[in-house]
Amino acid sequence: MISHQTPELTEFAEDVLAGLSATPKRLSSRYFYDDEGSRLFMEIMKLPEYYPTRAEMKIFEEQKEGILKAFTDGADGLDLIELGAGDGAKTAVLIEYFLKAQVDLTYCPIDISQEANDALKARFETLFPDLTITPHTGDYFNVLSSLKNTSSRRKVLMFLGSNIGNFQQEKALEFFRSLRSVMNDNDRLFVGFDMQKDPRVIIAAYDDKQGVTAAFNLNLLTRINRELGGDFDISKFSHYAQYRPVECAARSFLISREKQTVNIAALGRSFEFDQWEAIFMEISQKYTAAMIEELATKSGFLIETEFLNNEDFYTNALWKPL
């Protein structure tokens, strides 16, 4: 046990303490996306096994006219607000089309990574010199609360890439209800959902042969070492993924390869790991139409329209606040 007294803990430190003190141990996927994590996830999106990015891109490329009509129905202009924008590659397809259609448009990407936001802003200013772009770095809800009443125009909140799958059911409901609380009645929510499909296709997407997903998960241990004074030996942990078709959920874990003790200075604590003990890292929920309908209804929305990719079993749904 480390003996020194700990100062007031950051939210990150508190969550790490709670997670590693739990049985079974867990770490929150919300902390994957430091600058290195964001860079690794951009690599993941380019992998041949990782189909969600291509599936959503196909919807945007083939159905952008319908998406524009749905977004602008009865609206004079649009404020696009993207949560977790990353490199914005898919969004660029829509923005290019919207600008050519002479839509009065602003774009506000929100991301936890300043590096990702800076790169996105530079790229979009080159691609779209006439676009008003205002990136915000930080927590979604803190930023959204500040934006709620800044404009009377329609805001379209976009949560793409099936990122909602990283939330378990109750957390997903809480997330959508929180979004609803910062939306006006004329606003819309545009969400990507990865649908239930062949389990072999799904598991390959979360356990790629190149090991990029493994590096992405292990990077969280590196972040704990850097920011909280941990002494995780990354070589003593390995990535493991599974898919449970009955629950429509992929899960990822880090497995301790040997019995070991890990110290985290900022917590003033040490944590014991048995050989082959697992840390639960992430869930990636896959959806059925009934599950999406239930989520929308329970969180205060009506599904206004959906844009389907039937080949890849993927959908982007436009929700209207009730």
Tokens of 113: 């990574």
132: pLDDT strictly greater than 90 = yes
* CB atoms closer than 10 angstroms to residue 276: 12
| pLDDT bucket at 30, cuts 50 / 70 / 90 | confident
Kindly tell me if the per-residue pLDDT of 247 is higher than 60.
yes
Contact 156, 188 (CB under 8 A): yes
| Cβ atoms within 10 Å of 5's Cβ, excluding its own | 6
The verdict on whether omega for the bond into residue 24 sits within 30 degrees of 0, i.e. cis, is: yes
Q: What's the whole-model pTM score?
A: 0.86
- Which one is predicted more confidently, 166 or 317? 317
Three-state DSSP state, 112: coil
* Rg of the Cα atoms in the chain: 20
Judge: domain 49-197+287-321, CATH 3.40.50.150.
yes
- The pairing of strands 249-256 and 278-285 is antiparallel
Q: How far apart are CA 218 and CA 223, in angstroms?
A: 9
Residue 8: per-residue pLDDT:
57
Q: What is the structure's pLDDT at 142?
A: 73
Residues 149-176 have pLDDT tens digits of: 667 789 999 999 899 998 888 999 999 9
Q: Where are the domains of the chain?
A: 11-31+201-285, 49-197+287-321
* Mean pLDDT value of segment 131-146: 82
Give tens-digit pLDDT for 198-224: 999 999 999 999 999 999 999 999 999
Mean model confidence pLDDT for the chain = 92
Would you say residue 83 has pLDDT above 60?
yes
Contacts of 1 (CB under 8 A, 6+ apart): 268, 269, 270
Alpha-carbon distances of 268 from 60, 239, 276, rounded to whole Å: 49, 27, 25
Q: What are phi and psi of 105, to 5 degrees?
A: -135, 140
Distance CA 210, CA 40 (A): 12
Tokens at residue 10, please? 């950051």
How far apart CA 61 and CA 90 sit, in angstroms, is 9
Q: Name the DSSP letter for residue 286.
A: -
Distance (Å, whole) CA 178 – CA 170: 12
Chain-centroid distance, C-alpha 213? 15
CB 35 within 8 Å of CB 111:
no
Q: Quote the pLDDT of residue 143.
A: 75
